[in-house]
């Protein structure tokens, strides 16, 4: 027998209906999937019988492909076959039927899919939820789907969250109770919709013990979560969480949030600092970001002054040269060192600045300036 790669190539180039029908039963899902696509191209509606015969018995990974092909060629019997399969045995037939109905997306299946939500097999309940979410105009099913938010199986609860979000008119009211779900995967799914939740539920997810849940919640945060996002930006131990908080704040479109972002320029992680600068520019444009950072050069916090120098250098803000040059007399040596590291990006004539710092009272500053002068282009 040829290997799977050879069989795949043969299918892709075949125009033989008989050969393609045989390939629908190939042990390799990829070969069988290619056969589904090819027989649709070659035979069109004439392929309906062969495809329909395998709809509920094919490898489960192929069911959606077969159903979509039947839908495209306009087969009128596939939906009825799949609906009937929802009560069949073994359970894999019911599972295939629910998956097929999701791909067929026919509203006639709604009633039987709601019954399938009570199936004893969790996988069938998941597939039924996914199918209901795919059926256009299925808002009437939102209440039935919401009942499975308390299902004992966490995978079912995750699927229920997705279905309710898609077809429910006010999903946040239904999902808020899951902010304390015992399963991390469920909380992770709910966190992606944190802006729609009640304030207590949103706060719980933004303070979740799991880093990925906090990250997802931060990414999805909205205007009502600005306070919590500001805390995450400064205090969260997770780099990804702080980055997500910065990005979310930048996406809210309120220029007043720029001041909330400024503490993030001091973040110890370069990725977070870059996210903060992108968010600042997104909110107040580059000119507004430069103005705010120039103001921060006069901060009473030496860390803020130093961080603002590096942030301005990242923006190549030559217009801040006068304000930056004043820092040659800053009381903190680390701030003066930052001038040496960034002078080429911030000062039109960096050599004059560096020569001044080469006479600095601090040995580390003098040494760094002397090294800069030795390395400058001739």
Of the candidates 372, 295, 298, the one whose C-alpha atom is nearest the C-alpha of residue 335 is 298
- pTM of the model as a whole: 0.88
pLDDT score of 25 more than 90: yes
What pLDDT score does 139 carry?
54
pLDDT score of 138 more than 60: no
Q: Per the structure block, which two tokens stand in for 241?
A: 């969480």
DSSP, residue by residue, 273-315:
HHHHHHHHHHHHHHHHHHHHHHHHTT-S-HHHHHHHHHHHHHT
Q: Position of tokens 């979560």?
A: 225
What value does the mean pLDDT take over residues 177-193?
97
pLDDT digits (tens, 9 = 90+) for 244-271: 999 999 999 999 999 999 999 999 999 9
What pLDDT score does 235 carry?
97
Between 291 and 377, the higher pLDDT residue? 291
What pLDDT score does 1 carry?
60
pLDDT score of 38 more than 70: yes
CA distance 366 to 49: 84
Confidence class for position 135, pLDDT limits 50, 70, 90 = confident
CA distance 186 to 176: 12
Confidence class for position 142, pLDDT limits 50, 70, 90 = confident
The overall average pLDDT reported for the chain is 95
Q: What angle do helix axes 199-206 and 184-191 make, rounded to 10 degrees?
A: 120
User: Would you give the DSSP letter of residue 120?
Assistant: S
CA distance 259 to 263: 8
**What value, to the nearest 5°, has the Cα angle with vertex 356 and ends 351 and 357?**
95
Q: Do the beta carbons of residue 229 and residue 207 sit within 8 Å?
A: no
pLDDT digits (tens, 9 = 90+) for 191-246: 999 999 999 999 999 999 999 999 999 999 999 999 999 999 999 999 999 999 99
Cα dihedral across residues 70, 71, 75, 76: positive or negative: positive
pLDDT digits (tens, 9 = 90+) for 307-348: 999 999 999 999 999 999 999 999 999 999 999 999 999 999
Confidence class for position 2, pLDDT limits 50, 70, 90 = confident
Instruction: Give the Cβ contact number of residue 265 at 10 Å.
Output: 25
Confidence class for position 141, pLDDT limits 50, 70, 90 = confident
CA distance 313 to 302: 17
What pLDDT score does 320 carry?
96
CA distance 28 to 21: 14
Q: Per the structure block, which two tokens stand in for 127?
A: 């597939």
Dihedral, 13, 14, 19, 20 alpha carbons, nearest 10? 80
Instruction: Give the Cβ contact number of residue 49 at 10 Å.
Output: 12
Q: Do the beta carbons of residue 82 and residue 97 sit within 8 Å?
A: yes
CA distance 293 to 276: 12
What value does the mean pLDDT take over residues 341-358?
94
CA distance 64 to 99: 6
What pLDDT score does 137 carry?
58
Confidence class for position 169, pLDDT limits 50, 70, 90 = confident
CA distance 40 to 42: 6
CA distance 43 to 199: 56
pLDDT digits (tens, 9 = 90+) for 71-89: 999 998 999 999 999 999 9
Confidence class for position 168, pLDDT limits 50, 70, 90 = confident
Confidence class for position 378, pLDDT limits 50, 70, 90 = low
């Amino acid at each position: 027998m040829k290997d799977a790669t050879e069989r795949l190539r043969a299918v892709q180039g075949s125009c033989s209906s008989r050969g393609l029908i045989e390939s629908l039963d190939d042990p390799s899902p990829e070969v069988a999937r290619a056969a589904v696509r090819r027989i649709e191209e070659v035979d069109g509606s004439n392929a309906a019988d062969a495809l329909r015969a395998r709809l509920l018995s094919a490898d489960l990974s192929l069911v959606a492909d077969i159903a979509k092909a039947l839908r495209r060629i306009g087969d009128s019997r596939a939906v009825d076959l799949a609906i009937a399969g929802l009560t069949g045995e073994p359970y894999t037939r019911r599972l295939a039927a629910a998956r097929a109905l999701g791909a067929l997306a026919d509203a006639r299946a709604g009633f039987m899919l709601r019954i399938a939500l009570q199936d004893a097999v969790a996988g069938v309940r998941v597939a039924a939820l996914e199918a209901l979410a795919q059926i256009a105009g299925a808002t009437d099913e939102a209440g039935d789907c919401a009942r499975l938010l308390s299902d004992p199986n966490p995978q079912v609860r995750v699927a229920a969250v997705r279905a309710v979000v898609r077809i429910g008119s006010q999903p946040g009211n239904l999902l808020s109770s899951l902010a304390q779900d015992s399963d991390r995967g469920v909380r992770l799914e709910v966190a992606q919709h944190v802006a729609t939740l009640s304030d207590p539920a949103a706060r719980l997810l933004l303070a979740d013990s799991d880093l990925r849940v906090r990250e997802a919640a931060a990414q999805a945060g909205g205007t009502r979560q600005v306070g919590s996002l500001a805390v995450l930006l400064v205090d969260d131990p997770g780099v990804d969480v702080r980055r997500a908080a910065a990005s979310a704040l930048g996406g809210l479109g309120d220029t007043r949030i720029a001041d909330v972002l400024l503490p993030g320029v001091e973040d110890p992680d370069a990725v977070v600092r870059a996210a903060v600068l992108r968010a600042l520019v997104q909110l107040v444009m580059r000119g507004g970001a430069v103005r705010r950072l120039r103001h921060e050069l006069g901060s009473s916090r030496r860390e803020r002054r130093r961080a603002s120098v590096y942030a301005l250098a990242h923006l190549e803000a030559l217009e801040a040269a006068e304000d930056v040059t004043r820092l040659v007399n800053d009381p903190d040596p680390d701030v003066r060192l930052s001038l040496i590291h960034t002078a080429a990006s911030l000062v039109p004539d960096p050599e004059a600045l560096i020569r001044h710092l080469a006479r600095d009272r601090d040995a580390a500053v003098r040494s760094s300036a002397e090294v800069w002068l030795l390395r400058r282009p001739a």
